Amino acid sequence: MLKVKNLHKKYSGESFSAVVDISFSLTECEVLAVVGKSGSGKSTLLRMLAGLMKPDAGVVEFEGKPLKNPEEQLIAGHDKIKMVFQDFQVKPNMTVAENVKYKLLHFNKEYQAERCEELLDTCGLSTFAEKMPHELSGGQQQRLSLARALADDPKLLLMDEPFSNLDPIIKEDLLLELTEIVKKERLSLILVSHDTRDALLIADRIAYVEEGRLVQIEDNETVYKQPKTLEVAQFFGRVNEISLDGQKHFIRAEDLIPQLEENKFEVTVSSSTFMGGVYLNRARYSGDQLVVFYSSEKLSENSNMVLGFKGRCQLHF
């Protein structure tokens, strides 16, 4: 469906490139999460994929045809590629239903009413049809923004940090609802986020971008368990660098197990902090070497204990 070939972008006056030689493809009904630190080039990449920004080099192909650059058409973008922004972009003086119908004006009234009702139901807004946008919560406004985008009958949906301003529980619920909507509407989706939980929850594949370069793009489990670089590994959670018998081992915090005999070493607990379900522990070994691990119970400060890890849990770069 979508093919990106050697995409490159550098902003005028900047000494570095925002996007550097990025290539990948997206299949029909696939969900791809693009993650990375702030300023890594994620949003710039998304705008080029939407046809809203001209790349300096490379090409974006959609359904076998190159996207036109913004200056080549009256209205920038592609009618089957829709972008959902984090600032909602709804009509403040229209009701929820009117906001959706506004995107359906070129259809007859019978279809407008039918499709509007369907989209409001799909996005969980049926009971808010006559409400004004300012009467909605942040999550409901995001649902409205999504319903408006779906009204254009896109094949590819692009979302740039769409839930960054929402509370964690509301965001998680919306992400789960989004997966159902994408499947029901048979859409492909590219979601930009700096939150790894979003990516792991919703995506089929994850693309990690650093300083404008595509470092790794694979399925979620592979990116998490077989990261290509230490930076990718650390982006998805705490990683310990442990020196044993003259060798370095990179182990995630959840893979350090108390009292495990395999690859064992003795530590002294520095702190044990409740994290809601588990305790996050900091400990030292060999004098001043720090490790972080989890436990189901609070550990006593300055207590000594043995930690170990299974060989298969090591990360290799």
Sorted by where each starts, the structural domains of the chain and their CATH numbers stand as 2-231 (3.40.50.300), 238-315 (2.40.50.140)
Query: Which pLDDT tens digit goes with each residue over 71-95?
Result: 888 888 899 999 887 677 789 999 9
CA–CA separation, 256 and 49 (whole Å): 41
Query: Which pLDDT tens digit goes with each residue over 98-139?
Result: 999 999 998 999 999 999 999 999 999 999 999 999 999 988
CA–CA separation, 166 and 57 (whole Å): 36
Provide the 3-class DSSP secondary structure of residue 277.
Answer: coil
Cβ partners under 8 Å of residue 281, min gap 6:
269, 271, 272, 273, 292, 293, 294, 295, 299
Rounded to two decimals, the pTM is 0.90
Q: What is the average pLDDT across 203-221?
A: 97
Q: What is the 3-state secondary structure of 85-132?
A: CCCCCCCCCCCHHHHHHHCCCCCCHHHHHHHHHHHHHHCCCHHHCCCC
Percent of the chain with pLDDT over 90: 80
Query: Which pLDDT tens digit goes with each residue over 163-186?
Result: 777 788 888 888 888 999 899 889
Q: Which of 266, 262, 306 is nearest to 289 (CA)?
A: 266
Residue type, 261: E
